[in-house]
Structure 1
Amino acid sequence: MREAPNIAVVVMDTARDRDVTATTAPTISTLGDAGTRFTRAFSAAPWTLPSHGSLFTGLYPSKHGAYSGHEYLGDAHPTLPELLGEAGYETVGITNNTWVTPESGFDGFDTLRKAWQLLPGEGNMLWEMVQVQDEESAQGVFRRALSGNPVRNLINAAYAKYLYGRRDSGAERTTGWIDDWLAGRSDDRPFFLFANYIEPHLEYDPPREYAEQFLDDEVSYYEAAALEQDPWEYLVGNVNHAREEFAILRDLYQAEIAHLDAQIDRLREALIDAGEWDDTILVVVGDHGENLGDHGMMDHQYCLYDTLLHVPLVVHGPGFEDGGEVDDLVSLVDLAPTLLDAAGAEAPAAREEFQGRSLHPDTGAEPPEQVYAEYLHPQPTMDALKRQVGELPEYVYRFDRSLRAVRTPEYKFVRGSDGNRELYHVAEDSAERSSLVNERPDIAADLEERLDSWLDSFEHAETSDEVEISGARRDQLEELGYLQ
């Protein structure tokens, strides 16, 4: 075995812990049995951009500064690929989510591939080329396509339109690319591999064979595929789903997880075939969860319930063998210091800034008394939502706020910028149905004091500069439900 292990981080985009089970994810379950499963792992934010920012920097969103309203991870703090690169690692990534790209500040890799591009290139021209709706915009896109590398642009556009996403949301191509990369690499350095798989993000559209494994016998694949999945139309009351329809959507969601689990099994086989398995620490983690009718919501915005924050986290490989189930509180900000310890990387300046603690067994770090989560700006904004669905019902405007939460093993306290306060006894009320903020004011006051003390303990990111998102990339984000 090399002195330093390989490290592979697989992000299951939008996977909530409660649905990653031995039934939906037997590969992940097996990895957890042979490695370490963290049963109380929580995201630092409920959606992709700030959550990945925390994973990459070991910092909470207030400190790293990437969230709605400032959609860019600046260079004020080093990222995990940069730190591991400095420690002698080859750093390679492949992403299926346009938030996790250099355009959003996620850089520092030797190689970072966008799975929706057949040939690597800059920008999102391919998305612009397949989204045009009228002659004038088509002419503008055509002129831009002829600049730079027109052959590559045209090939990528054809791939995006006719092949990418035809069977899945890029998972099979992603795993195939990793397999080819592993088989062809000649670098003798240890590697850091990052992969974002976008299943099971909306829309839930698993391959038919997986869908039919989870759908009830009386529900056909075509009936399930025809269900409306627009979260914003549901939020404003233009679409109503009965409990039975949400049950179907959850079946599709779980089928997406099962399909992704099969890809993780393929990735494991690729590591075995390349002779790298025994030398590799494999991390499988969700970046955030999902609401499927929970709390009257769909998608993963506007709240900090555990449906969005409680994520799966399994670590397998050198140092994490037979760790069993760990029920300490864990945050995604803990992954950066953990993986630096696994790599034997010093990085003293970064470690001084980390807001997480290492989970590596050799450190013996004491578990924290609480972890935090932040939702610093609504996404979509009320204006963007109004442009999408028309006039908004009055009740929707209550979501026009920021939220912060502090969670202990027993309780969660949530405070909104509108002054709203909630307290949940999560040890007994895991569904967070009944706020006890009035019944247990002393506990609420104690947790609010902890939250304020934590917020006062570090320098917050400067995010006054406006971040511009191009029309092409804007279209791609809106395809994923991120209205701009």
Structure 2
Amino acid sequence: MRTSLIRAGSALAAALLLFGMTAGACAGPPAGDERSPVNVVFVLTDDLSANLVQYMPNVRALAQDGTTFSQYTVTDSLCCPSRSSILTGRYPHNTGVFTNSGDDGGFHVFQREQERDTFATSLRSRGYRTAMMGKYLNGYQPGEHGVRPGWTEWDVAGGGYGEYNYNLNENGAVRHYGQAPEDYLTTVVEGKAESFITASAEAGEPFLLEVATFTPHGPYVPAPEDKQAFPGLKAPRGPSFDKLPSDAPDWLAGRAPLTAAQTAQLDTAYRKRAQSVLSIDRMIGNLRQTLEKAGVADRTVVVFSSDNGFHLGEHRLTAGKQTAFDHDVHVPLVVAGPGVRGGATVEAPVLNIDLRPTFEQFGGVTPGPAVDGRSLLPWLRDGQAPGWRTTGLVEHHGPGQAADDPDRQAPAGGTPPTYAALRGPDFTYVEYEGGAREYYDRTTDPEELLNTAAKLPAARATELHEKLESLRGCRGAEGCG
């Protein structure tokens, strides 16, 4: 045990040198030459769109204390592909996970090879305690699959979208939770997360904790104390609400305007989604208080994000995701902690594949050659990262979905065919299977209502196509930008 702790201390010292911080910058006296560890608390939400952050005061406080990435994009606006990219730091074309189930997606595809090489396995090898709580990957069943590689604490549910009446695999033992208020899943994982933080601090060991909520994913179940919040709240009526873009691709074109009944359903969904994020927000505040009480807040980085966005009426689509529009792929990312610039905003294009190498750098781990992303540490520490990418890749397989897929969408919700897209700071470019294309200049058209792909100069169209093809086959951080 002493040998493993010495190895962990050496790795953490390297991490802190990279992070520009030593034990002298932290509360509490250093022990000899030992340096304090950089812990990670990662709160990952499900389907949380950017327009819900306004109802989350603790997230906004986190942003004031830390750095917000205003151009953070997911590699696929769908749960399992996005979460697979987060865990591995790899694009879907390198994980093989493009959907939630079937031959090209879900837990059963991920666990074949990808599961043995994640931020959990690499940090665990460096002496970190690692905990996964809440939602893992679509298709994981608590009674069948057990604790996964790299995790020292495992408290994971299967279909916990209803927040009640679910099974939780607790370090290999399956426990059923019922309908009592205290069984609300977000509340349960919050309590377990607080216990994990306290125990890790008492043990003096570095830790990484991922709390992955099922909220605000449908059926949008709020905590008992939040059911009456925001009376009369309606879905935002922005410029793209119930509007089709010009020259829309076939899967989107020709849709009739939203009916009064559909609009009422969207309003109800948005109100319930706003209610359901309140429990997440309280959890973030409580976890930060727990870090303070445990004496490790000044050496712990807190990260908040979502696996994908969501649309409710935008572009004449009812509830759903999976598109390349900003409301689906552009989600919040906030980081706060020791050495992180406070009240800062980064406008560079960053991706969910960048989280793994960031977490690894906190632990002194050099990302392997199979990792496509790059560490965000230079942005967090210095506000600049020379040679950073200018565009990111979004890739999606569609439109088929299994009948039991919790993300199965009605046609009115949007079921785009297979596509690949480039997203830069000021544009979105999409190529669909079958030949349709979209180009939106978000500088002049932030709501993505003017598809000008057919009007692009030939040289620009060729440049975009070649860049897209290059990224679709890239491997490793150097090749993937």
Unaligned runs of 5+ in 2: 1-25, 27-34, 158-165, 236-254, 477-481
Q: Is 1:173 the equivalent of 2:195?
A: no
- Residue 112 of structure 1 aligns to a residue whose secondary structure is strand
Residue matched to 1:84: 123
TM-score normalised according to structure 2 size: 0.74
Counterpart Cα distance in 2 of 1:121 and 1:111:
6
1:17 corresponds, among 47, 50, 53, to: 50
Runs of 5+ unmatched residues, structure 1: 123-151, 220-234, 460-484
2:261 matched to 1:241? yes
> How much does 1:33 deviate?
0.8
Aligned ranges 1:60-459 → 2 under 5 Å: 60-68=91-99, 69-71=104-106, 72-73=109-110, 74-76=112-114, 78-96=117-135, 99=138, 101=140, 103=145, 107-115=149-157, 116-117=166-167, 120=170, 156-157=175-176, 159-160=177-178, 162-163=179-180, 170-185=185-200, 186-207=202-223, 209-216=225-232, 241-322=261-342, 324-347=344-367, 350=368, 352-361=369-378, 364-366=384-386, 367-378=388-399, 380=401, 399=415, 401-442=417-458, 443-458=460-475
Write the distance in 2 (CA, Å) between the matches of 1:435 and 1:198.
34
The one-letter amino acid paired with 1:16 is S
C-alpha distance in structure 1 between counterparts of 2:225 and 2:170, whole Å: 31
Q: CA deviation at 1:101?
A: 4.6
The structural deviation recorded for 1:360 is 0.5
Q: Is the partner of 2:133 in helix, strand or coil?
A: strand
Deviations 1:148-191 (A, max 9, x none): xxxx76xx34x24x34xx57851111101112223334432200
Between the aligned partners of 1:327 and 1:369, the Cα distance in structure 2 is 11
Q: How many residue pairs get matched?
A: 397
- TM-score normalised by L of structure 1: 0.73
Query: What is the match of residue 89 of structure 2?
Result: 58
| CA–CA distance in structure 1, aligned partners of residues 146 and 316 of structure 2 | 31
Q: CA–CA distance in 2 between the matches of 1:48 and 1:256?
A: 18
1:228 paired residue number:
none
* Partner deviation per Cα, 1:43-95 (whole Å, 9 max, x = no partner): 11111111011111111101111232332213256100011111221111112
The Cα offsets for residues 314-349 of structure 1, whole Å up to 9 and x where unpaired, read as 1111221326111111111111111222222234xx
Residues 260 and 105 (structure 1), Cα distance of their counterparts in 2 relative to 1, 3 Å cut: same
Cα 1:243–1:118, aligned 2, differ >3 Å: closer, same or farther? Answer: closer
Tell me which residue corresponds to 1:148.
none
8 Å CA contact 2:154, 2:169 repeated in 1: no
The structure showing larger relative contact order (alpha-carbon pairs under 8 Å, at least 6 residues apart) is: 1
- How many percent of aligned residue pairs carry the same amino acid? 24
For residue 338 of structure 1, what is the amino acid of its counterpart? T
> Is the CA contact (8 Å cut-off) linking 2:430 and 2:437 kept in structure 1?
yes
Separation (CA, whole Å) in 1 of partners of 2:331 and 2:322: 17
Coordinate RMSD, CA, aligned: 3.3
Shift of 1:19: 2.3
CA distance in 2, matches of 1:302, 1:332: 16
**SS of the residue 1:296 aligns to:** coil
Whole-angstrom distance in 1 between the partners of 2:206 and 2:423: 36
Contact 2:72–2:352 (Cα < 8 Å) also in 1: yes
